[in-house]
Amino acid sequence: MAVSAAFSQDDTYYTGDESTVTVKAQTAPPAMPEYVQPPCPADGYMWTPGYWAWGMAGYYWIPGVWVMPPGIGMLWTPGYWGFYGGYYGWHHGYWGDHIGYYGGVNYGFGYYGAGFYGGRWEGGHFMYNTAVWHVGGGFHNTYVSREGIHENVGARYSFNGPNGVHYRPGANEVNSIREANHVERTKEQVGHEQNMSNEKGQLHNPNSRPAVHSMSKPGGQRFDERGHAAPSHGGGGGHGGGGRR
C-alpha cells in the first residue's frame, strides 16, 4: 500500500499547533516510503509507524516498530511535520485515551491520516484487527474489520502544509489535543530514535532507500522494505510478513 492521505482534504493547512513544535527544519521531509509490517512479537505490543526525523546531517528514517504501551487503555497518536510560514516543525507523538491529531499524514497500518483502525481495547485487553495488523499465529484476541482501509491512493506526503497534506483537525481531534492526560513517549521509544540517528544507512538519500524500514521491537530484529531480515549489529535472521495495509 502506498502511504498517502486518503480522504477529502481541507483547502487550508493547519497552523494552530505551532506551540507544540519540538524540532525545526528548513526543508520539507521526504515522501513516506512503502514497507511491509513485521509480525507482532508477542501479545500486548502495539505498532508505532515509522517517520522521518531531523538531525545535523538531514532527515533520517526511524523504522516502524512494535512497542509496549505505558498502560492499559493507552493508544498511540503518531508525531507529524507541519509547515509554519518559514520552517517545518515536528510534533512528537504521544500516548492517550483517544487518538488525536497527526496532521492528516497517512502512515499506513491503521493510521490513515485521521483516527485509528488497527485494533481496540476491550476489558483491559487489546484486540488486534488482523485486516490491518500482522500478528502471526497464536493470537486469540483478534478480529477482522476493513473499515477505513485505503490502498494505493494519492501521493505519499509526509507533512501538513503547501505541497503536502491539507487537513485541519475535526472536533474529536481538537478535543483530544486539549486532553490533559497525554503520556510522553516511553524510554524505549526515545532510545529507538536515538539509536537510529547514529546509523548512516538511515539518512535520506534520493538514490537509495533506508537500510532498515521496520523492527520487531526496539533493539530487535530489523527488516527492509520487503519484510526481509536486514543486517543488524546483533545478527539474527527471520522474515517479516503481512502486506502493506
Query: Count of H helices and E strands in the chain?
Result: 2, 17
Coil/strand/helix, residue 191: helix
Average pLDDT score over residue span 208-217: 96
Contact predicate 64/78, CB 8 Å = no
Coil/strand/helix, residue 90: strand
Contact predicate 110/244, CB 8 Å = no
Average pLDDT score over residue span 103-132: 95
Phi, psi of 204 (to 5 degrees): -65, 130
> DSSP secondary-structure letter at 205?
B
Q: Which range has the worst mean pLDDT, 27-36, 178-187, 221-230, 234-243?
A: 234-243
- Tell me the pLDDT band of 242, cut-offs 50, 70 and 90: very low
- Structural domain boundaries in the chain: 18-223
Report the C-alpha gap between 110 and 113 in whole angstroms.
9
The partner residues of 120 in beta bridges, in order of sequence, read 127
Q: Which range has the worst mean pLDDT, 20-24, 54-58, 86-90, 231-235?
A: 231-235
- Dihedral through CA 35, CA 39, CA 44, CA 46, nearest 10? 0
CA atoms within 13 A on the CB side of 189: 24
- Tell me the pLDDT band of 66, cut-offs 50, 70 and 90: very high
- Tell me the pLDDT band of 152, cut-offs 50, 70 and 90: low
Grid cell digits, residue 47: 505498532
Q: What is the pLDDT of residue 175?
A: 81
- Tell me the pLDDT band of 149, cut-offs 50, 70 and 90: confident
Residue 235 has pLDDT above 60, yes or no: no
Neighbours of 54 (CB within 10 A): 20
The string of pLDDT tens digits covering residues 83-105 is 998 999 999 999 999 999 999 99
Residue 106 has pLDDT above 50, yes or no: yes
pTM score > 0.85 for this model? yes
